[in-house]
Amino acid sequence: MRKVTRRLMLLDTASLYFRAYFGVPDSVKAPDGTPVNAVRGLLDFIDRLVKDHHPDDLVACMDADWRPHWRVELIPSYKAHRVAEEHAAGPDEEEVPDTLSPQVPVIEEVLDALGIARVGVDGYEADDVIGTFTTRARGPVDIVTGDRDLYQLVDDARGVRVLYPLRGVGTLQLTDEAFLREKYGVDGPGYADLALLRGDPSDGLPGVPGIGEKTAAKLLAEFGDLAGIMAAVDDPASRLSPAQRKRLDAARPYVAIAPRVVRVAADVPLPVVDPALPRAPRDPAALDALTARWGLGGSLERLLGTLRR
């Protein structure tokens, strides 16, 4: 049984390879001219993260379904603006740059050949996989993501923090409860309520009309949480303004269902994997073939050198 002091790092993999794709020039190509900027950029990201933060365990969490049907049933606008093509029998197709899509299978093959645990679960987003691993973790957790939605998992008592890339992964914003309180006036769970109230256009979440981030933070500071705010709507003696009371009362249908959409799942049926950071490739022959085919060069060599330490 592993010691509880082992540090787990969870990668929001799509968030990171999107950043790699837009941060690394598309002149980085395989021998046949195919762009591999996202592949090599992600390998460089992982190399830097392992060097700087020394995780014992690492899991690359994947979007098996980036727009789960159960979330769309609750809020139809959820990520609707990012749909490239709808599929009745499976996950909708996300709008992704033409030269990024072909790189995703390569990323998956390289991670598998390296022996880095890679987990996606049908019907769930990477956020939900991260939420479940975090809930089950017995030691400290570093979540690496460019998605602020995962701030809701921050928990100083359990050693859960978010490492949010500002420039590449060389400059990371260490997000703990002190940061959240200073920036937003809330703790981790409070961030989910804040996001629900203010809405998030990037995810197609409407929020409560007329309740922006500052107002949401003030309401949470006054009434504690979403349940406390809605209880105040029903209390004539509460210090809600007439306009706030009216807006929140009108938003009851949204407020009743939005928590299930905004809060990450903590009960995803995760497969059994070994999250231990590999010291040597799981499949050296496959890795050699991928290196030759895709010209992974220095990016892969640097990561292999870091893993061997």
Per residue in 209-267, pLDDT (tens digit) is: 999 999 999 999 999 999 999 999 999 999 999 999 999 999 999 999 999 999 999 99
Pull the structure tokens for residue 9.
């790092």
Mean pLDDT in the chain? 93
Look at residue 306 and tell me whether its pLDDT is greater than 80.
Answer: yes
Percent of the chain with pLDDT over 70: 94
Query: For residue 31, with 0-12 CB atoms within 10 Å meaning exposed, 13-18 middle and 19 or more buried, which class applies?
Result: exposed
The H or E element that residue 216 is part of is helix 213-223
Report pTM.
0.93
Look at residue 66 and tell me whether its pLDDT is greater than 90.
Answer: no
Residue 95 confidence (pLDDT)? 65
Residue 4: band (very low, low, confident or very high) from pLDDT cuts 50, 70, 90 = low
Closest CA to 18 of 145, 206, 198: 145
Look at residue 184 and tell me whether its pLDDT is greater than 50.
Answer: yes
Q: Are 127 and 147 in contact (CB under 8 A)?
A: yes
The β-bridge relationship of strands 93-94 and 83-85 is antiparallel
Residue 94 confidence (pLDDT)? 67
Q: Are 290 and 113 in contact (CB under 8 A)?
A: yes
